[in-house]
Amino acid sequence: MTPTARDRASIPGTLMAIRLFGVPVRLHFTFILLAIFLLMFGLSNEQSNLMFAFYVFGLFASVLLHELGHALVARRYGIGTTEIVMFPIGGVARLERNPKPAEEFWIAIAGPLVNVVIFAVIFGYLQSRHLMVPVQELVRPTDANLLARIGIGNLILAAFNLIPAFPMDGGRILRSILARFRPEDEATRLAAGAGRMLAMIMGLYGLLNAHFFLVFIAFFVYLGAAQESAAAMGRVLTHGIPVRAAMVSEFHTLSHGHTIRDAANLLLATSQQDFPVVHAGKVVGLLTRNKLLRSMATEGPEAYVAGVMEREFTSLAPAMDLAEALPVMARAGSCALVMEGDHLLGLLTAENLSEFLLLRRFGMELPQPVRS
């Protein structure tokens, strides 16, 4: 199947994908490496290889169900899920837009609640069958306590995710509550600050006690908190600003009859890197810099741009709120076309958007381009 723009913008490093409830689920290569490591080096003398593999599968399935919980509740609010990516420290459900505070609370809490339900079902079954084992025996993996350990694993997963610090679900719950009384950027800053503090404590403890996997987790927690803080700053700087204000209004286009050589000459002569392709006054495609260079190598300089351009491209309305355009740009890649009907008004590029945000952050009032 030909990938859509959304599929092409998936997180790099994923190796395979399946669909569950219409949501693409991808495995990051580091997740696969961790699974192989656990299967090769985590075997014990008191547990059969088959049961250990089932235990690892059970925990990974629990993480996946956790993320599906987020996705299904988000769907009830009309928010689609771009993809679920499985990483070594857990899964990530990428939503198509940022939820409102009330929506975020229920979306965030859905994941831990799924794990609590799994724990309750497993221990309810064990209790009904009189198969309960003493808690102190769970530290010794055996075939007999396999289900109990999967249940406890779900309880630990729920508790860890409810820690009130980004990027855990508890941090999002905290932000959704704070955002009812404070501005979103301040609520995010507080939750992200808690996440960074938690990461530093975890990292220091891991270093002092030679728990290097804990240091690994602390690194990703810190990185996630920092990214969330930066994303919130971007939303604050763009809220209420139309796409028209940040677009490139002076640009060059290509005709569908131009060649790759013509496009390359224009690439060298200007600072523009992505070129709309027009025919009879209408946009019919987009030739990006990467596509141009690949086509130069594979098709040759005399090939026509009409044969190599991307016919599926992202377009934005000029009056669209720039805060709503940010996640669309993240999926589109380097460039989106700003169009009013069939009329091309400008380009919104990742580079120009970064410069716009930087100038806004320094308090510069930017003029909006005059509509043509």
- What is the per-residue pLDDT for 105? 92
- What is the per-residue pLDDT for 43? 55
**Alpha helices, H only, the chain:** 5-8, 29-41, 49-76, 101-128, 146-161, 169-178, 184-208, 212-238, 260-269, 289-298, 322-332, 350-361
- What is the per-residue pLDDT for 6? 38
Residues 370, 350 contacting (CB under 8 angstroms): no
Write phi, then psi, for 34 (nearest 5 degrees). Answer: -65, -40
Spans of the chain below 50 pLDDT: 1-9, 367-372
Long-range pairs, 57-61, Cβ under 8 A, ≥24? 58/146, 58/150, 58/153, 59/150, 59/153, 59/157, 60/35, 60/86
Residues 190, 177 contacting (CB under 8 angstroms): no
- What is the per-residue pLDDT for 41? 62
Sheet (strand 315-316) strand order: 315-316, 335-340, 343-349
- What is the per-residue pLDDT for 261? 92
- What is the per-residue pLDDT for 42? 56
Q: Give the torsion through C-alpha atoms of 172, 62, 157, 101, to 10 deg.
A: 10
- What is the per-residue pLDDT for 257? 87
Q: Give the torsion through C-alpha atoms of 33, 38, 40, 44, to 10 deg.
A: 180
Beta strand 23-28 with 14-20 is antiparallel
pLDDT in tens, 323-364: 888 777 777 777 889 998 889 999 998 888 888 888 877 765
Topology of domain 243-361, CATH: CBS-domain (3.10.580)
DSSP assignment, residue 165? S
Residues 277, 284 contacting (CB under 8 angstroms): yes
- What is the per-residue pLDDT for 89? 65
> 109, 91, 103: which is closest to 28 by C-alpha?
91
Per domain, the residue ranges of the chain are: 5-238, 243-361
- What is the per-residue pLDDT for 338? 92
- What is the per-residue pLDDT for 371? 41
- What is the per-residue pLDDT for 158? 92
> 327, 324, 243, 316: which is closest to 286 by C-alpha?
316
Residues sharing a CB contact under 8 Å with residue 22, sequence separation 6 or more, in sequence order: none
pTM over cut 0.85: no
